[in-house]
Structure 1
Amino acid sequence: HVNESEFILEVIDPVTAEPATDGELVLTNLGRVGSPVIRYRTGDRVRLADGNCPCGRSFRRLPGGILGRLDDMLIVRGVNVFPAAIEGVVRRFATIEEFQIEVFRDGELDEIRVLVELDDASGVPRVREALRASLGIRLEVAAVPVRSLPRFDLKARRVVRR
């Protein structure tokens, strides 16, 4: 929930700055007198839900919280692709231990290859189809041996430019 007695919340298309339900979070703080924050573009990608929450509150909600950073966005064949969206699909497959997103150039365009750690490469077509269905684009998916991708103690660096 967003406490709308303290903030004016907007969600805008990051390119056109027009109102949107899925886009960049913009905040105006209503309680700061000395240094007001007016229409602060956070760079965070959110999805807005209006209407009453099942808990009974009438404040607007951001289901899923912050979905990612706009500066994490990749553009593949003219389509905005967020690494967090890829992760959301990949994590549905319990057999995938780790994954990595490779961004590479094919002529003038960026392409994406998703490397997934799988014991059995026969699962690759299901992962590829789930990504296509969710993101609306075809991505290359390749199986790599389990424990072959880097592990990270803090924030994982899963996007690699080749």
Structure 2
Amino acid sequence: MKGVIYARYSSDNQREKSIEGQIRECKAFAEKNDIQIVETYIFARNRYDSAHYKSILKRNGVKVISATEIISQGAEGILLESLLEGYVEYYSAKLSEKVIRGMKENALKCKYNGGTLPIGYVIDENKSFQIDTLVAPLLLLTLLSVMMKATR
């Protein structure tokens, strides 16, 4: 039997390692079940896209199976698959809310959230912003020079 892998991102910030893990699990499943993988697809995780693509696949005679969940092909499988997809989307949305809340709290406490550091700051062992005592005076001199030129 021939098959394809459909790995899904749960968010825009998801790491490639998660996709690699999904693909590894799918390849192991395929090998165990004597399925020859002919292509790998990577889409966003959202139940509307999932339903759309699965509908197209089923219309074209393609059987959709999960490498990680046992979902029957009967009527109860439709319900279980819908519940699983809804839960995954819910989990992703709740996780996003928690991450955003955590990042906001970090910002309010002047804690580093990642990304490029502003010039003139360093991050200490507590992940807090501290003035870079080597660079900050040079920035102050540059700022004063610019301000003086602007007032002339």
TM-score (norm 2): 0.24
Higher relative contact order (CA 8 A, sep 6+): 2
Structure number with larger C-alpha Rg: 2
